[in-house]
Structure 1
């Protein structure tokens, strides 16, 4: 059996292998590959590299621009926050000033109202005193005439003499006032 295998192997060596190409195909393929590689290396690769470098620079520039824009936005935000804080502080100051002004105006109005109330009270007291004096004079005249009529009826004489009648009325009213003061003192 060994001899059969060896003869079979010998026969197979003589036949060309369909998987292995001939040596001239390998040489010409290597020459074509070298030419294409050289052209690719000299012509195509530098333009691809140039394009990639341009894209890289554009991306880096975009990143730098984005960083600058971000820094500017942060500065603008900080400035906005500062202005907002200043605005709030100024609004608080205006509110405090308005409260102080309101308090001052209220105090002035209260003071004016107190002055006006005091003036009205003093006018009312003066009016009351004047009316009291007028009522006293009117009452004195009426009480005097009633007293004279009563005294004339009691005495049975006419008291037409003004001096006598006036003296009599004054004495009567004086007695009434002393009686009223004595009663008030109890």
Structure 2
């Protein structure tokens, strides 16, 4: 046997037999069919779930963002309203303070006027009382002096009163003359 024949009878490692090729193709097609029937639907289902979850999350995020924006606008509106209310309250407090100050000044002024008028009335009363007391003392002194000068008793009340009144009139007349001369 020659070398070429020996080589032809020996099995070729790379040679493909038709029966093996058909068996491999059939197994491959069964395997592809099983993958197509069981695995691909699960992948598509997972892909669809993941896509819907992502889209739902994006939708929820967008809704949350819109809610947050609405809440922020509401907060800003409430804050602006609170600032306006605070400014109004401050202005009312200023006005009330000014009104209270004006009322207190008015009360203080009326109290000062009342105290002043009371003091004037008291001074006038004390002046009248002092003047009456001075007249009595002058009358007593004048009566005593007249009794000594005349040498008779002026116990008669009417006579005594006339004498005192004349003396006081003379004193007042001389006081007016002195004060007019001093001017």
TM-score, structure 1 normalization: 0.77
Unpaired segments of 5 or more residues in structure 2? Answer: none
Distance 1:174 1:17 in 2: 175
Q: Judging changes above 3 Å, is the alpha-carbon distance between structure 1 residues 86 and 21 closer, same or farther for their aligned structure 2 residues?
A: farther
Partner residue, 1:144? 139
The gaps in structure 1 that reach 5 residues or longer are 1-6
Q: Deviations over 1:128-161 (max 9, x none)?
A: 11111111111121123224434555x3634723
What is the RMSD computed on CA atoms of the aligned residues?
2.9
8 A Cα contact 1:148 1:165, kept in partner: yes
8 Å CA contact 2:143, 2:163 repeated in 1: no
Matching of residues 25-174 of structure 1 within 5 Å: 25=20, 27-150=22-145, 152-153=147-148, 155=149, 157-158=151-152, 160=154, 161-162=159-160, 163-174=162-173
Tell me: higher relative CO, structure 1 or 2? Use CA pairs within 8 A at least 6 residues apart.
2
Higher mean alpha-carbon deviation, 142-151 vs 91-100, is at 142-151
Deviation at 1:17, TM superposition (A): 7.0
Give me the TM-score of the superposition, normalised by structure 2.
Answer: 0.78
Equivalent-residue separation in structure 2 for 1:151 and 1:12 (angstroms): 193
User: 1:147, 1:169 within 8 Å by CA — same for their partners in 2?
Assistant: no
1:179 equivalent in alignment to 2:173: no
- Residue 61 to residue 88, structure 1, CA distance change in 2 (3 Å): same
Between Structure 1 and Structure 2, how many residues are aligned? Answer: 173
